[in-house]
Amino acid sequence: MTISVGDTLPNVKLVKATAQGPEAVQSAEFFKGKRVALFAVPGAFTPTCSAKHLPGFVEKADAIKAKGIDEIACISVNDAFVMKAWGAANGADTVTMLADGNGDFAKAVGLTMDGSGFGMGLRSQRYAMVVKDGVVEQLHVEAPGDFKVSSAEYLLEQL
Catalytic residue of the set 3, 37, 38, 49: 49
Across-strand partners of 37? Answer: 72, 130
Give the angle 45-123-79 at the CA atoms, nearest 5°: 55
74 is an active site residue? no
Count the neighbouring beta carbons within 10 Å of the beta carbon of residue 88.
Answer: 13
Query: What distance in Å separates the CA atoms of residue 92 and residue 4, rounded to the nearest whole number?
Result: 28
What span, in angstroms and rounded, lies between the C-alpha atoms of 103 and 99?
9
Positions annotated as catalytic residues are 49
